[in-house]
Amino acid sequence: MGETKRKVRSDRKKDVKPTVDIELYECVSRISHITKTPIKDVGEIFCKHGLYSKKVIDNLSQYFRRNIQFNNTLYMGNRELLSERVTRKPSENRTRITIRFRQEVYDHISDLAYALDRTVSTTVAMLLDAAVRNTDILNQYVGEYVDEVLDDNRKKELRHVLKYINKNNPYEDEVTLYHLINNIMDKAVDKTINARIAIDSWLDEVIDRRED
């Protein structure tokens, strides 16, 4: 009797293990802590958002060595750009992160890797960095988390405070929702509490001061 081959799941994910800067890893880890989401899932979500963001792909297109049509836009490559082996950064202050992608997303990343003339692993590292630096993607992700964990009154209070901060902000940089929540988490006495509890406590203090 012959051996029965194990059926391969059509939705099976492929592992990619890019090496990223420590600062990027710590940022992804921070987002993971705030939203109580595994690092590998945070990495996957941001890469997927970045992959379908014109702003992110436009940013990466400066490194394209080959022509490619991506997201309905034809990008022209530049063969004069240095190859990956020449431009690769030293491994100091870098660490490995594991991200898993469904086959469809992996195929699109492979297309991006072709345009960049880089490995899939290096491409994922570049894509993740570009996506995390995109404040639209970052705020959308954190905003969706806030919508899930806070009730309507709390969400209204939080966005009111954020609007007030930016209206009276003497600095040029806008305070984003992520930056606000990150700051709240930093100031929390108990570093093990989740974001919802930390935000609730912080809002209570703000409301109390406002009513005094």
Output 201 or 173, whichever has higher pLDDT: 201
Considering the entire predicted model, what is its pTM? Answer: 0.79
pLDDT tens digits for 51-70? 999 999 999 999 999 998 88
User: pLDDT, tens digit, for every residue of 2-37?
Assistant: 444 555 455 688 999 999 999 999 999 988 888 888
Average pLDDT, the chain: 84
What value does the mean pLDDT take over residues 147-174?
Answer: 81
pLDDT of residue 28: 92
The residue with greater pLDDT, 204 or 52, is: 52
pLDDT of res. 179: 85
For residues 23 and 190, the model is more confident at: 23
Kindly report the three-state secondary structure assignment for every residue of the chain: CCCCCCCCCCCCEEEECCEEEHHHHHHHHHHHHHHCCCHHHHHHHHHHHHHCCHHHHHHHHHHCCCCEEECCEEECCCCCCCCHHHHCCCCCCEEECCEEEEHHHHHHHHHHHHHHCCCHHHHHHHHHHHHHCCHHHHHHHHHHHHHHHCCHHHHHHHHHHHHHHHHCCCCCCCCCHHHHHHHHHHHCCCCCCCHHHHHHHHHHHHHHHHHC
Domain ranges of the chain: 13-135, 150-211
Position 90: which residue type? P
Amino acid 121 reads S
